[in-house]
Chain A
Amino acid sequence: MTMTLTDPALGETTLQRLRHKRRIALAIPAAIIAYLVYAAISFDIGGLVQRARFDNAAILLSDFWSHKTHVTRENRSGEVTVAIEGEGKGTYPTGMLPEWVTMENGVTTIDLGDGHVVTYDDVGARYLVPGYGLIDIRSEGGRPVMTAPEPVPDWISVSPNRIGVTTDAGRFSFSRSKVETFKYQAGWELWFFTLDSPFYGKSFTELVGLATVGDRIDANRSNIASMVNDFWTNRMWRHADVAWAIFETILMAFLGTFAAAIVALPLSFVAARNFMPLGIFRGAIRRIFDFVRGVDGLIWTIILSRAFGPGPMTGAIAIAITDAGSFGKTFSEALENIDDKQVEGIRSTGANAVQRARFGVMPQLMPVILAQVLYYLESNTRSATVIGAIVGGGIGLLLTQAIQTQKDWEEVAYYMVLIVLMVMLMDSFSGWLRRKLIKGE
């Protein structure tokens, strides 16, 4: 097929344009790649890979789904403690032991599973590793001395004051002051009941039995009430505090968003061209909106927490101030775009300014306001988490505290799951409300 062109110059310009477009189409990705390369250099990606602590990543990931139990013996006193995550709150009381630990006549036997057995006794400690042999450590003059099959593999670390063994079954370390064994198990231990609760270690069917037909453990209240109480006051996971923190975060978002809308609505009339003919007022209010938005939530949070102290009210006010600026801008833009005919109609019946605003303007404005407010409500739930971390309130505070201690990663995982659920819940709630209110019931 041949193409005929009436004007040869047209063909030339078309081709030129095509070439130009192709150059642009190549130049944009090239520019993006060049920028990313520059950024990679300025962010020092090469050094980052060297500095990265992948062992920390391993700890983090394993903590997310498992827990460890410490079996510790103080060498001076000979006292043995068994504690979940090594915490006081998770220490087994005297007379109570997990089934894989036995204590008889001063000999402690720890069964790590798969044939791995650790024994503590008066002379020292022994670790039997299947397929390798017995690692025998005795304390001589305060120092640990090891006897193990030669050659010593690299998963045993030996130094004058400490001997450490890491296997798939667990970790073992012998130092001058104490002997420690860590056993890793899947799951978040003590999530329902702590060790001091009579319901600890019961299976689900046993619990159902106790709750319905079983005898009362505490004569003063029903078993189900005791269960709820023990769960709610769980010292390890602090369910009551966490629930309150989530509530506080949602409260901050709710109060902040609606207060912002209430403040911004009347002001936006002043900032709209068709309602405020005086340019001075209009400009002043608009500059205030711009200023409030530009200063940013971070700065407002800092200033306000100096005045009001840390807490959820400070967070709510910070959200309110920042969002008042954004709302003011969008509301006044929406006001400028409304249809004048309705307002004229209301005016023709002799309505005053307030009545015109109520019956002529608000019905047109309401969908915009609702859509904006509900959208911000959802996004502020997320902001309230971050602001909570700065002002010290809500789930954000719990989360940053848990992260900063750098060991309770299972709690971090728990809070993350809760935050994601909370945000998703608010997302679907605001979406549902928006459909209900704007598109008609």
Chain B
Amino acid sequence: MVDIAFGPEPGKRPDASGANARYLEMLRRKRMYGGIMMVFFVALMAAGWLTAEERNAGDFWSGLPQVIDFPAEVLTEAWMNRANIAGYAWEHFPALIETINIAAVATLIGALAAMALSLLATRGLARWPRLIPVFRRTMDALRAIPEIVIALMLIYIFGGGPVPAVIAIALHTGGALGKLFSEVAENADTKPIEGLASVGANWSQRMWFGVIPQVAPNWLSYALLRFEINVRASAILGFVGEGGIGHDLKVAMQWGQGRYDQVVAIFLLLFVTIVVIDQISDHFRHKLVKGH
């Protein structure tokens, strides 16, 4: 039996003596590598921060006490005019709705595109298996382009308004969700698909009745998470480009002193919205993924 386990030649048997010493040596080597990695990482971080600080307009230590200054100034002024805040919040409410609408429409369109792209790019489900790499690279490219690039170019063509933001966010969403959707679809059970194929269902019927019901909860969960992210993205795009609550915030900030009550009102609106959407989507995602 021993010969079967260790081979016929006696020389090939592992040397059991000194295992302890060798284990300790291995441990030492591992620790040394770990230590070197640690030193390298710390050096990299330090060098990085120093470079970043050097290129910055203000330096870290003189700026640090001022971090509080601006919020404090804003809050004191807003507190003096606290009676106006509710009015301003109401005034900017339509802009908030626009921001949420941009995010919602972009998520919807992006998710629909992602559904198609992901099914076409998943091994075992694809309509044209040879084209899988094409669809994958398409999704990669869509994911890689930051929203702001598309949005600013479309603003040049369309002028301001929400549509450039919608298209920009939808394109990005299509790529990002497509990847996640495809990972879910890869794990789908193929038996229902085979069953449908045996009764003569075509590709779209097989997907619609065989795959979608299986993956719907996970897909919905990812789409909700994406909606959360897109609300933030839509606010940021408004700040850089045009439209929505982000733009209002920028305009109010540019007025500077005297309008800080407005800044606080917009900020509160945005903060409350983000937290509420976070909570709602968290709740539903838990239900979708764990509720079955």
Contact = CB atoms under 8 A, between A and B. Distances in A.
Is this pair of chains taken from one and the same complex?
yes
B144 A420 contact: yes
A309 B236 contact: no
Contacts of A307: 58, 63-64, 66-67, 69-70
B67 A303 contact: yes
B162 interface: yes
B105 A294 contact: no
A298 to B, nearest CB: 5
A43 B56 contact: no
Contact of B156 (A56, A297, A304): A56
A406 B156 contact: yes
Interface in B115-169: 140-141, 143-149, 152-153, 156-159, 161-163, 166
B82 interface: no
B101 A39 contact: yes
Interface string A283-303: 000000010011111110011
A295 B271 contact: yes
Contacts of A314: 56
B236 A386 contact: yes
Contacts of A62: none
Given A48-B158, A299-B267, A420-B141, A386 B146 contact: yes
Interface stretch (A90-98, A133-141, A249-257, A340-348): A249-257
A386 B57 contact: no
B11 to A, nearest CB: 29
B289 to A, nearest CB: 13
A51 B156 CA distance: 11
Interface residues of A, number: 63
A100 to B, nearest CB: 30
B60 A308 contact: yes
Given A44-B161, A303-B71, A312 B55 contact: yes
A307 B275 CA distance: 26
B153 A43 contact: no
B49 to A, nearest CB: 6
B144 A400 contact: no
B147 to A, nearest CB: 8
Contacts of B101: 39, 42-43
Interface residues of B, number: 58
A124 B35 CA distance: 78
B197 interface: no
Interface in A102-124: none
Contacts of A386: 146-148, 236, 240
B153 A60 contact: yes
Contacts of A42: 98, 101
Contacts of B141: 420
B275 A385 contact: no
Nearest to A305: B57
Nearest to B159: A51
Nearest to B172: A382
A296 B274 contact: yes
Given A48-B158, A51-B158, A310 B57 contact: yes
A48 B166 CA distance: 13
Pick the 8 closest A-B CB pairs, nearest first: A309-B57, A311-B56, A309-B58, A308-B63, A313-B56, A423-B144, A307-B66, A313-B52
28 contacts: A35-B108, A42-B98, A43-B166, A45-B163, A48-B161, A52-B159, A56-B157, A254-B48, A296-B235, A296-B236, A307-B63, A307-B66, A309-B63, A310-B56, A311-B56, A313-B53, A313-B60, A386-B146, A389-B148, A390-B239, A393-B55, A393-B56, A416-B149, A419-B144, A420-B144, A420-B145, A423-B143, A427-B144
Given A52-B158, A299-B270, 19 more contacts: A43-B163, A45-B163, A248-B52, A290-B275, A296-B232, A296-B236, A296-B274, A297-B236, A298-B232, A298-B249, A308-B58, A311-B56, A312-B51, A393-B55, A399-B148, A399-B149, A400-B152, A419-B146, A424-B140
